[in-house]
Amino acid sequence: MTSTVPQTFADEWAAWHRIREQQLTHPHGFLAVTSLTWLGEHPVAAPGSPGRWWADSRGVVVELADGDELVVEGTRVTGEHVVGELGLRESRLLHDGDVAVEVAERGGRYVVRVRDPRSPLLAAHPGTPAFPADPRWSVPGRFVAFDAPRPTAVPGVLEGVEHVYDAPGTVEFTLDGTPYALRAFPGHGDGAVMVLFSDATSGDTTYPFRSLDLVPAADGSVQVDLNRAVNLPCAYTDLATCPTPPAENRLPVAVEAGERTPTVRGAARPTDDGAELDRAALVAPSQGPGSRAA
């Protein structure tokens, strides 16, 4: 009976990893992003998208040229269209044929990202390398809530971008007899939290930081399975605005679990209005602190 446990554990991890890859390679997933354009008060083009875009007191606005249109929540729009204001880290998808145009709030600013199913990065993706699943890296832990959420500012991977999260608490666990506590940020879904962390493999066999999604039980108990640590979008492309971990979230141990550094990365080239994926520059990723060029 005992001998089957590691294989069962590995099978469950493999099923999770397949789903993770399916999400990553969705036609409008992050590997499909081909351009990133920051918005200000002056209209600019977003490479790969129709129209000219800007932000004013109404929020995000686009002016479409004659003959151009976008589909917004199933309705075709032409001419000037007010997308409106977006909340903290909110994203909305508009459509131009099979291309999705993402309008998002990031770091207190608005951005337009084009997601094209024909992205060369998506076409070239060979799959994300990962360490073999190992039960050693799955340990019981506990989510300890703060008395009140604590605003926590962290730099983004792009120069000048700062993200602020209302951290709800910490995740505490023990590895090989040593206790650790990592500050958690709000996750996706009720009660979910996200932990950004780095460790002794960061910048070597893994990207400089990774993320772990957790859903604590009502009593705070949670299984901390580092085999499910994943890369953020910035590990794959310059066209990302990812937050970096809080200073206290560096583990001094080598976490040889979870996703490793991608073998192909999309390098961006600057344009007059933003940055777009250079179709000729799919490169082996650098092990540095992350791109700050886009």
How sure is the predictor about 260, in pLDDT bands with cuts at 50, 70 and 90?
very high
281 has pLDDT over 90: no
How sure is the predictor about 286, in pLDDT bands with cuts at 50, 70 and 90?
low
Please report the pLDDT score of residue 272 as a whole number. 82
pLDDT digit string, tens, across residues 74-125: 999 999 999 999 999 999 999 999 999 999 999 999 999 999 999 999 999 9
Q: For 262-282, what is the mean pLDDT?
A: 91
Please report the pLDDT score of residue 1 as a whole number. 42
Residues in Cβ contact with 272 at an 8 Å cutoff, skipping those fewer than 6 apart: 44, 45
169 has pLDDT over 80: yes
pLDDT digit string, tens, across residues 126-135: 999 999 999 9
Map out the domains of the chain as residue ranges.
30-124, 127-283
22 has pLDDT over 90: yes
Provide the percentage of residues in the chain whose pLDDT is more than 70.
95
- Cα separation, 148 vs 168, whole angstroms: 7
pTM of the complete model: 0.90
Q: For 224-248, what is the mean pLDDT?
A: 97
Sign of CA dihedral 275, 281, 282, 285: negative
